């Protein structure tokens, strides 16, 4: 029988860094989401900024009722992201649900688990982005049905934006929304952008629109704000990341309004 290996304890305890990474961004995303993690790894994650994900239950189709049903899961979802450790921001990755539930209600639910944290929603981030461009009249493209798009139109109109054109793709499954080819998004953006608008907003965190935002801007000659582009931009700026990144679109060259 071989001699038993002696296991020794090191001569001292290791010196610990305050954090493995300087900044921490928490994402609360839908169980069905194919896109947000990929976009945030591409645009946000770095040697200084960590992105930590929690998924919550969601059942298609995309209707106001099903979107509203996610609200009770927001607190538990936030609590699962590095429990008992502070985060620099938490982003809830559902644009249409942020409208139906309400930005303030989303923030309150997340702060039950993460008191005092900066909360980012796609809708509020989009508003910041549009205001950073000085846009007062906009065009909007969504993948949703008319029923689900109506609260979105009311949201932006209620904040004082003129809506020159609102186009929806009449889709009901967010997994299919993620399968819309980027080239198709460019084509639909051309159709959706009204010449009179100051900017185009493309709604939905499932759409792969952030990856072609710069291409769409070249095609329509106007600034473009997408759900994932806007939230990535806001999260980066909250973390103090200021370098301009025009390859991601004009928004990534701007500071947060009022910063």
- Tens of pLDDT along 8-46? 999 999 999 999 999 999 999 999 999 999 999 999 999
pLDDT tens per residue, range 187-204: 999 999 999 999 999 999
Predicted confidence band of residue 211 (pLDDT cuts 50, 70, 90)? very high
C-alpha span between 54 and 27 (Å, rounded): 6
Length of the chain: 259
Q: Where are the domains of the chain?
A: 23-122+230-242, 124-226
Q: Which CATH number fits domain 124-226: 3.40.50.12500, 3.90.1010.10, 3.40.605.10, 3.30.300.30?
A: 3.40.50.12500
Residue 65 has pLDDT above 90, yes or no: no
Burial 184-219, CB ≥16 within 10 A → b, else e:
ebbebbeebbbeebbbbbbbbbbbbbbbbbbbbbee
Helix (H) or strand (E) holding 107: helix 103-113
Predicted confidence band of residue 225 (pLDDT cuts 50, 70, 90)? very high
DSSP letter (8 states) at residue 56: E
Residue 1 has pLDDT above 80, yes or no: no
CATH of domain 23-122+230-242: 3.40.50.12500
Return the closest-CA partner of residue 200 out of 159, 255, 161: 161
pLDDT given at position 223: 98
Asked if the domains 23-122+230-242 and 124-226 are classified in one and the same CATH topology, the answer is: yes
Ramachandran region of residue 221, left (φ > 0), alpha (ψ -120 to 50) or beta? left
């Amino acid at each position: 029988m071989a001699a038993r290996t002696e296991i020794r304890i090191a001569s001292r305890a290791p010196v610990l860094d305050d954090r493995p990474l300087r900044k921490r961004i928490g994402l609360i995303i839908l169980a069905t989401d194919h896109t947000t993690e990929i976009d945030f790894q591409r645009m946000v994650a770095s040697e200084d900024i960590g992105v930590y994900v929690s998924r919550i239950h969601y059942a298609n189709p995309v209707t106001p009722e099903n979107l509203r049903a996610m609200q009770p899961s927001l607190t538990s979802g936030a609590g699962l992201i590095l429990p008992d450790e502070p985060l620099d921001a938490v982003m809830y990755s559902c644009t249409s649900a942020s409208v139906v539930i309400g930005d303030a209600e989303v923030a309150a639910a997340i702060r039950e688990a993460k008191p005092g944290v900066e909360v980012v929603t796609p809708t509020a981030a989009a508003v910041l982005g549009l205001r950073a461009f000085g846009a007062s009249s906009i065009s909007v493209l969504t993948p949703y049905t008319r029923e689900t798009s109506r609260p979105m139109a009311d949201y932006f109109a209620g904040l004082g934006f003129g809506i020159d054109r609102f186009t929806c793709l009449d889709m009901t499954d967010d997994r299919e929304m993620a399968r819309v080819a980027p080239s198709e998004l460019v084509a639909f953006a051309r159709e959706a952008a009204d010449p009179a608008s100051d900017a185009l907003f493309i709604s939905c965190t499932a759409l792969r629109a952030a990856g072609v935002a710069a291409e769409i801007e070249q095609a329509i000659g106007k600034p473009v704000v997408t759900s994932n582009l806007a939230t990535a931009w806001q999260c980066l700026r909250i973390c103090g990341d200021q370098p301009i990144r025009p390859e991601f679109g004009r928004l990534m060259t701007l500071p947060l309004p009022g910063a």
